[in-house]
Structure 1
């Protein structure tokens, strides 16, 4: 691990909230239109990559000129989304953490595919999260403490066929040695009673989604 946090800004729903999520010292990756967003808001991408099919030629020239490194691929002859390309590059750097901004949006297929990227990070032991204006999404497979912060609700959804041994401490709706299976809504819309809560589990991959209404 190189000790740095990598922040990937990609082309989903972006807004002023992004600026609050970027810290000094982050290594910034602009994926497709996310690179343009970074430049337009005063940030210099450490690398911009993608097929850039969602920007104009003039915008592409600005991205190429304004990025420390630039990697363009053919929009047709490729097998990965721009976000997965950026994620794979980030994993190769062996960072301390990867945060994805703009990975959720109006294209549900892309949003779901981006959530699945969390499992790739977990398999390499790299903590990853997805953040947007109203949600923070992580994937866990071991006991984890979460903090309330700005969020009002916590939902738990299995990313494997089942997750066993789920025990919750510090939540309004407790669970003890519970099993969640795909297609079940038992874990939706829980609430932390204090500023933090603890999640135990025995096996499986569990999405933890902290959220608030607009």
Structure 2
């Protein structure tokens, strides 16, 4: 089987029609725990369903197994990684150029924050990675990132590393030139594009870039 260029992970957090709209022809779909059930119940066949599946009933588990190309399950207690990290690690092993995480945000802030940190692993591996849900899109920038038109009008920048230097913004309502953001700074919150595209440049460190709607 050819290596996929784009993988979408459907995790067990908040999912909806917006997540289905992310799917393109040729995408490799991975169901993580209850995210696998979401896929199969919407007529989509996961290339891989992975996790401990402690959030599904025996009947739902049978449904997932019947409609997945491959299933990998583990003990819900004796494991070192979250279900989402297991799926993300598999996606990186495939050498995908782009990885999208849907259902990676929800009511558990600890899991949501851990999933944002997974983007760092993707960045280091050279993959374009982002998290998306109904009202947010999250990615990282450590060199240069160009943002185009989007359903998310607001753009916020927060440091992932203790200090991010040389931040320059073009195409934004509130431009920056060679600015520095440190952990705890809120200068980068709620900017907006004023052009068809905007560019974020960074000299050192890494930014969390959050596009959102009210």
What TM-score do you get using the length of structure 1 for normalisation? 0.97
Q: CA deviation at 1:201?
A: 1.1
Corresponding residue for 2:174?
Answer: 173
- Number of residue-to-residue matches in the alignment: 213
For residues 34 and 168 of structure 1, the distance between their equivalents in structure 2, rounded to whole angstroms, comes to 36
Corresponding residue for 1:208?
Answer: 209
Please state whether the residue corresponding to 2:84 is helix, strand or coil: helix
For residues 47 and 144 of structure 1, the distance between their equivalents in structure 2, rounded to whole angstroms, comes to 30
Q: CA deviation at 1:19?
A: 1.1
Corresponding residue for 1:133?
Answer: 134
Q: Which runs of 5+ in 2 are unaligned?
A: none
Q: CA deviation at 1:148?
A: 2.9
Q: CA deviation at 1:3?
A: 5.3
For residues 182 and 208 of structure 1, the distance between their equivalents in structure 2, rounded to whole angstroms, comes to 14
Q: After TM superposition, which residue ranges in structure 1, 4 or more long, deviate above 6 angstroms?
A: none
Q: CA deviation at 1:97?
A: 0.7
Give per-residue Cα distances to partners, 1:45-93, cap 9 Å, x unaligned: 0010000000001000110111000000000000111000000011000
1:90 aligns with 2:87: no
Report the aligned-residue RMSD.
1.1
User: Does structure 1 retain, via aligned residues, the 8 Å contact 2:97–2:126?
Assistant: no
For residues 194 and 135 of structure 1, the distance between their equivalents in structure 2, rounded to whole angstroms, comes to 20
Corresponding residue for 1:29?
Answer: 30
Please state whether the residue corresponding to 1:21 is helix, strand or coil: coil
Corresponding residue for 1:44?
Answer: 45
Q: CA deviation at 1:2?
A: 3.8
